[in-house]
Amino acid sequence: MNHFPYRDGELFAEGVPLRRIAAEVGTPVYCYSSAALTANYRAFAEAFAGQRATICYAVKANSNIAVIRTLARLGAGADVLSEGELRRALRAGVRPGNIVFSGVGKSPDELALALETGIGQINVESEPEIEALNELAAAKGVRAPVAIRVNPDVDADTHEKIATGMKENKFGIDFDRARAVAAHAGGLPGIEIVGVAVHIGSQLTDLAPFSAAFRLLSELVGGLRDDGHDIRRLDLGGGLGIAYQDETPPTPKEYAAMIATATDGLEVEIVLEPGRAITGDAGVLLTRVLYVKKGVSKTFVIVDAAMNDLMRPSLYDAHHAIIPAIEPAPGTNEGADETADEAANEARVDIVGPVCETGDFFARDRLMPVLHSQDLLAIGCAGAYGAVMASTYNSRPLVAEVLVKAGDFAVIRPRQSYDDMLGAEKMPDWLEDARPLPSTQPLPPKGVA
């Protein structure tokens, strides 16, 4: 179901017109749909109802506490990658036992907090990390529940920057060394091996790489059990893609059926860590047109959002649908690619932001309805890896985030003020004095030495 529909010519989020949110909160602003979050989570929960599965939402996709809490109330756990994400999950009400701590570079302080909190699982990714965790756990008189993350050397067939399961990637322990590493770890006083884990990448739209990796993992479980390890969990990570443009990703039901086949007969608890598949299409970024600039060879639609607000197009050349808040006239091929024909009520444009970078764009050569200053646009599928990757580059304050539920909405992160942004910086003592700064002399007139 589309939770951002046009109604009587106007774009809504559930029962709230997006034009109202823009008017009351300003732009740019991220807007998330509670109904979409709920529907996407339930699609996973229902697909895995016949398996012993725990769904731990990957907090890195969208770490707003209200989003995490919306999912936690539905029964989701959390997959976290830092102390900050762990604290967010706890603040949102996720039970510690339903939290998995992943990541290749957990610091000693982060590992200590994980132990103190009593989270359900720590995914270890290197031998030095195992040694550090063992030392911390033994000092506290506890055993850390770990899953050994392996690198299966499986090509996920996704963007190189979000592939994580090849030998050249930094993630996981080499598959061929997993049994030897487990043999050593299993003898350490502070380590309890409870499972094995894998995550081969993000935005996968084909089940074949998943299946190959999961079958290897299933074989490893058998070998580890033969070695005397009590392997109870199989952490299969996340990575299921969504449709940004014309992709046809597998459904959660198809994904669940493949996992059931790959793990048949193992008698293990499955841990899943979907992120983008839950929040991606549950959010849009609202932005307003500032100017329409007609260049020699291109027309630029300059909007008030920028690459610092949504990095994906600049970072990954990612495609996001962009639609106007007022429905285009019938026959307009909004968002069509470069192969579509241009009509009288359309124009081929680059949609760009104000940041001083050529890479500051949201769309190139995109066929759009003719746009004007102050038109409101919605950038689709911005609920994952949008606000979480934002920065204050060009000293642009972080934008607001809004959560919609039925006919109501709430600001779940206020727009950062300039005072907030500047107040986070401190002047060193040697620059704190009352002396006036020297005045800047005007440049001399042209031709005057």
Q: What are phi and psi of 424, to 5 degrees?
A: -75, -10
Question: Is 17 within 8 Å of 10 (Cβ atoms)?
Answer: yes
Beta strand 346-352 with 299-303: parallel, antiparallel or unpaired? parallel
Structure tokens at 88: 């967010």
Question: Is 393 within 8 Å of 421 (Cβ atoms)?
Answer: no
**Where do we find the tokens 């030998």?**
167
The percent helix, strand, coil of the chain (3-state, each to 5) is 30, 25, 45
Cβ partners under 8 Å of residue 126, min gap 6? 104, 173
* 315 three-state secondary structure: helix
Give the burial class of 13: count Cβ atoms within 10 A of its Cβ; 0-12 exposed, 13-18 middle, 19 or more buried.
buried
Task: Report which secondary-structure segment, H or E, holds 214.
Answer: helix 207-226
Q: What are phi and psi of 50, to 5 degrees?
A: -90, 0
Q: At what angle do helices 252-262 and 34-47 cross, to 10 degrees?
A: 30
* 19 three-state secondary structure: helix
* 202 three-state secondary structure: coil
**Where do we find the tokens 């070998």?**
223
Question: Is 366 within 8 Å of 351 (Cβ atoms)?
Answer: yes
Length of the chain: 449
356 catalytic, yes or no? Answer: yes
Cβ partners under 8 Å of residue 358, min gap 6? none
Catalytic residue among 31, 56, 356, 381: 356
* Ordered DSSP codes for 170-201: S-SEEGGGHHHHHHHHTTSTTEEEEEEE---B
* 215 three-state secondary structure: helix
Beta strand 16-17 with 10-13: parallel, antiparallel or unpaired? antiparallel
Dump strand ranges (E) for 88-246. 99-101, 121-124, 144-151, 173-174, 191-197, 233-235
Give the burial class of 416: count Cβ atoms within 10 A of its Cβ; 0-12 exposed, 13-18 middle, 19 or more buried.
middle
* 359 three-state secondary structure: coil
**Which residues lie across from 188 on neighbouring strands?**
none
Positions marked active-site: 356
